[in-house]
């Protein structure tokens, strides 16, 4: 029952995040979806990642969204889809149904018992290069964001020059 409620809430949050007309409420629904994902992962036996998802996904990213929406501002009149709607729906149905058809029969089983293991030993033992690259990525992301937001003033004349 617990799982059913979470799944229903998750899907409602996701649909609302996409449907809602205002970007700000979209971001808040997204935070809700994130929190429910974290809860689901906790129940599936992944508490560490759940905590990170809760703080990063529901916390940090939401703050960033609100920040960005504040700077960029809401924009009216961007509602119509550039693609024909039947095509969109048909394609999504094909993808989702075919993945489900491929995956579901194999997965309709009870969850096996949880075998506790140490996350950090896996991270540093078998995925050391990935972790190092992730750290590099975080730095690159931070630098990229700083560069992009800090460059706003000198960027304008450069842009005009490129257009000429």
Site for other proteins in 104-143 (CB under 8 A): 104, 107-112, 114-115, 117-119, 122-123, 126-127, 129-130, 134, 137-138, 140-142
Q: Residue 77, by phi and psi: left (phi above 0), alpha (psi -120 to 50) or beta?
A: left
Site for other proteins in 15-34 (CB under 8 A): 15, 17-18, 23, 26-27, 30, 33-34
User: To the nearest whole angstrom, how small is the minimum distance from the Cβ of residue 164 to other proteins?
Assistant: 13
By CB under 8 A, tell whether 80 contacts other proteins.
yes
Q: How far is the CB of 43 from other proteins (least distance, A)?
A: 8
Name the nearest CA neighbour of 4 among 12, 136, 106, 104: 12
Question: Could you give the CA distance from residue 30 to residue 15 in angstroms, rounded to a whole number?
Answer: 9
Instruction: Give the separation between CA 12 and CA 29, rounded to whole angstroms.
Output: 9
Q: Is 57 in the site for other proteins (CB under 8 A)?
A: yes
Tell me if 38 sits within 8 A of 70, measured CB to CB: no
Binds other proteins (CB under 8 A): choice among 154, 157, 159, 161? 159
Reported for 97-103, long-range contacts at CB under 8 A and 24+ positions apart, including other chains, are: none
Count the site residues for other proteins by CB under 8 A: 93
């Amino acid at each position: 029952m617990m799982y059913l409620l979470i799944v229903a809430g998750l899907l409602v949050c996701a649909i609302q995040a996409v449907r809602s007309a205002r970007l700000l409420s979209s971001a808040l629904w997204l935070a809700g979806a994130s929190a429910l994902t974290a809860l689901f992962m906790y129940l599936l036996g992944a508490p560490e990642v759940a905590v990170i998802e809760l703080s990063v996904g529901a916390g940090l990213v939401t703050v960033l969204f609100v920040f960005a929406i504040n700077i960029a501002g809401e924009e009216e009149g961007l509602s119509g889809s550039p693609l024909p709607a039947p095509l969109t729906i048909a394609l999504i149905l094909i993808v989702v149904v075919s993945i489900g058809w491929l995956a579901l029969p194999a997965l309709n089983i009870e969850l096996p018992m949880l075998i506790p293991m140490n996350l950090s030993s896996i991270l540093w033992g078998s995925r050391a290069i990935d972790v190092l690259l992730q750290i590099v990525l975080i730095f690159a992301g931070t630098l990229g964001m700083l560069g992009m937001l800090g460059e706003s003033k000198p960027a304008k004349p450069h842009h005009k020059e490129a257009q000429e």
